[in-house]
Structure 1
């Protein structure tokens, strides 16, 4: 540890994370448990800051916690061959490509739905609402998960 130790709120502020997220990453064993002060405060050092920034960068790339965990294992064992890192990233790229296809199909479906209502009219006559009712009674298209990062 370095001489500059941070409490959890300071770590959150420095990394743009929430306190809840930091605690969650600790529970998920992505971020190591920090030592505690005599007053039982968590005390984080530079290694925690760097690791949390790494995790946040991975999350910004829509990586799952399992993918991040695997990358952290490589990072923690720098003598390992990086073939697994390449394979993980190739798999993630494939997932992103698939998600883009799903989003394009979603865009087409939404544009078609939007085209059903061009003017101002009552909600009862709204083509969009009628189209949504038609989908409910018919078989909706499966466009995958709408929640990002769910893979």
Structure 2
């Protein structure tokens, strides 16, 4: 199939497919006589796999490793376990950071004035000890 067909079948934009090729996530495609890239079923499978990994916010370097380990089906899957465990910990850390951010914003949200000159939110953000009061690093 041509790159446009691969893009349609995988739901990945053509530009992204070219980028993945450039990054070594997809092998270089064969070329037809007219110079068009030609892709097979394995390319589609790999591209869908990459798309699903990206949906889980897995970094490209980790996806590259996940693609590579599949070339050795009888090897231990410890690398896969480690990558997913590390990703899970990154997500949990992000959740903790977002919870702190939410609490900080929640403490700011209530301003019952109607004029900027009296806005308590702006005043709190201007305070010297604002980051300590909000519980975040500014």
Q: Shorter-chain TM-score: which interval?
A: 0.7 to 0.9
Residue ranges of structure 1 left out of the alignment (5+ in a row)? 144-151
If each structure's helix is expressed as a fraction of its own residues, which one has the higher value? 2
1:2-151 to 2 correspondences below 5 Å? 5=1, 7-115=2-110, 117-118=111-112, 121-134=114-127, 139=131, 141-142=136-137
Q: TM-score, normalised by structure 1?
A: 0.78
Q: TM-score, normalised by structure 2?
A: 0.85
**Cα offset for 1:122?**
3.1
**Cα offset for 1:138?**
5.2
Residue ranges of structure 2 left out of the alignment (5+ in a row)? none
Paired with 1:105 and 1:70, the residues of 2 have a C-alpha distance of 33
Q: In the comparison of the two structures, how many residue pairs are matched?
A: 135
Paired with 1:51 and 1:128, the residues of 2 have a C-alpha distance of 49
Runs of 4+ in 1 over 6 A off after TM superposition: none
Q: Which has the higher contact order (CA 8 A, sep 6+)?
A: 1
